[in-house]
């Protein structure tokens, strides 16, 4: 993520995905997200985590581009 950036957005509609996951897998996904936004470059062999994380990752990347553009403008 961006240097010195201390927050990120998770969108409310993610609940539709998370609510059908077992709690253990939802926790693994949340940890995976936190590792990603803290530049830990997480890797998993768990297909469920890979499949659910990919759209989240793409959303985080899009939001980061928007953030960088606003930061430059300001």
Q: Which residue in 54, 73, 74, 72 sits closest to 2, CA to CA?
A: 72
Q: Is the separation of the CB atoms in 51 and 57 below 8 Å? A: no
Prediction pTM value: 0.90
**8 A C-beta contact, residue 32 and residue 44:** yes
What are 52's two structure tokens? 């659910």
Per-residue pLDDT of the chain (74 residues; tens, 9 = 90+): 667 789 999 999 999 999 999 999 999 999 999 999 999 999 999 999 999 999 999 999 999 999 999 989 99
Q: Which residue reads 């897998």 in tokens?
A: 25
């Amino acid at each position: 993520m961006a240097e010195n950036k201390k927050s990120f957005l998770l969108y409310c509609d993610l609940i539709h995905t998370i609510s059908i996951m077992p709690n253990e897998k939802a926790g693994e996904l949340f940890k995976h997200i936190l590792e990603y936004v803290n530049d830990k470059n997480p890797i998993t062999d768990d297909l469920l985590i890979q499949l659910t994380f990919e759209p989240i990752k793409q959303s985080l990347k899009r939001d980061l581009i928007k953030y960088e553009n606003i930061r430059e403008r300001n």
